[in-house]
Amino acid sequence: MEKQSRPWSRFFRRYKRVILGTTTFVLFVLVWEAVGRTKLIPPIFISRPSIILQVMVRELIRGKLLFHMTTSLLELTWGYLISIVIGVPLGLLMGRYRKIEFSLDPFTMLLYSTPIIALYPLIIIWAGIGKTSIVIITLLFAVFPIIVNTFTGVQSVDPSLIRAARSFGAREGQIFYKIVLPAAIPIVIAGLRLGLGRALIGVVIGEMFGGTAGLGYLIAYSGAFFKTANLFASLLIVVLMGIVFTQALKKVEETVSRHRYGGG
């Protein structure tokens, strides 16, 4: 008996994670579908997977969904790029120069622990409703993890390396490019990954509050009209985007750190 079941049990043990995960997921979807069909819970509350999928395909074909997706992606790209352009140099400077760190620390600390969304009405007063404010919110969401991680990355550089370089006559610029930057890169990239996640939140929230297009707008709009299936469809796309982005940057992170340790 035990001998017969062996290959199967070994297979199971090896892929236990995937098997169990998929099973519960499928089970969940099936129960959802069943409950939705029997209308035990009104469809307005939970809709059901088949209808959500239908809506998604229909909207994709119509091009409406694609339009909102590209709007969100564009805003995301702008906000995220600007946050990198601001965050990385600022983090580097703060990590390298103590005076800059000490003078900017109170502000970054405060803004890092403030719910950025509370600044939303202020941003609307400054930039009006529309793309600009959403890009600003995205930027604000993403920039602080990037600053803080870049800073931590620079601080974590082994000081003996810097001292060694200095005793061999390296100039500040050389120390920066040849030691600090390469050593800090893995942590900086971890910050970029966090920042991307936050940027996505920023876009969606920004659009939910004051957008006229984009996935967040779609979510808010569908919610306001009790179009639960549409709401789920848009949410699903946001979830997928979140997973894809995080995984992609994780891959980058792994490649970079492998390169670093492999090359050393």
Partner 1 sequence: MEQTNQDKILPEVDAITARKTFRGRFFRNERWLIGAATIVLFLVVWEVAGRKNWVDQTFISRPSLVVRAAIQMLTSPDFYGHLSVSAIEFFVGFAAALLVGVGFGLFIGWYKNLEYSFEPFIMALYSTPRDALIPLIIIWLGIGLYSKMAVVFLGAVFPILVNTVAGIQNVDPVLIRAAKSFGAKERAIFRKVVLPASLPYMIAGIRLGVGRGLIGFVIGEMYVAEKGIGFLIMRAGSVLKTDDLLFLVSIIAGVGVLSNQLIRKFEEKVSRWRFERSV
115 contacts partner 1 (rule: CB under 8 A):
yes
Number of residues near partner 1 (by CB under 8 A): 57
Q: Which is nearer to partner 1, 21 or 130 (CB)?
A: 21
H helix runs in the chain, sequence order: 6-14, 16-38, 43-46, 49-62, 64-96, 98-112, 120-127, 131-155, 159-167, 172-175, 181-210, 215-224, 228-263
61 contacts partner 1 (rule: CB under 8 A):
no
Q: Which is nearer to partner 1, 43 or 176 (CB)?
A: 43
105 contacts partner 1 (rule: CB under 8 A):
yes
CB of 101 to partner 1, least distance (A): 8
212 contacts partner 1 (rule: CB under 8 A):
no
213 contacts partner 1 (rule: CB under 8 A):
no
- CB of 248 closer than 8 Å to CB of 240: no
Q: Exactly one of 5, 9, 11, 16 binds partner 1 (CB under 8 A); which one?
A: 16
151 contacts partner 1 (rule: CB under 8 A):
no
Q: Which is nearer to partner 1, 92 or 238 (CB)?
A: 238
Q: Exactly one of 34, 61, 66, 109 binds partner 1 (CB under 8 A); which one?
A: 109
Instruction: State the Cα–Cα distance between residues 204 and 197, nearest whole angstrom.
Output: 11
223 contacts partner 1 (rule: CB under 8 A):
yes
Instruction: State the Cα–Cα distance between residues 264 and 72, nearest whole angstrom.
Output: 40
159 contacts partner 1 (rule: CB under 8 A):
no
52 contacts partner 1 (rule: CB under 8 A):
no
179 contacts partner 1 (rule: CB under 8 A):
no
The string of DSSP letters for 164-222 reads: HHHHTT--HHHHIIIIIHHHHHHHHHHHHHHHHHHHHHHHHHHHHHH-SSSHHHHHHHH
Instruction: State the Cα–Cα distance between residues 117 and 113, nearest whole angstrom.
Output: 11
Instruction: State the Cα–Cα distance between residues 128 and 121, nearest whole angstrom.
Output: 9
Task: Indicate the helix (H) or strand (E) that contains 116.
Answer: none
55 contacts partner 1 (rule: CB under 8 A):
no
Angle at Cα 183 formed by Cα 94 and Cα 263, nearest 5°?
165
CB of 209 to partner 1, least distance (A): 7
Q: Which is nearer to partner 1, 44 or 61 (CB)?
A: 44
Instruction: State the Cα–Cα distance between residues 95 and 148, nearest whole angstrom.
Output: 9
Q: For 14, how many CA atoms within 13 A lie in the half-sphere containing its CB?
A: 6
192 to 211, contacts with partner 1 by CB under 8 A? 197, 200-201, 204-205, 208-209
219 contacts partner 1 (rule: CB under 8 A):
yes
Residues that bind partner 1 (CB under 8 A): 16-17, 20-25, 28, 44-45, 98-99, 102-107, 109-111, 113-115, 117-122, 124-126, 197, 200-201, 204-205, 208-209, 216, 219-220, 222-224, 226, 228, 231-232, 235, 238-239, 242-243, 246
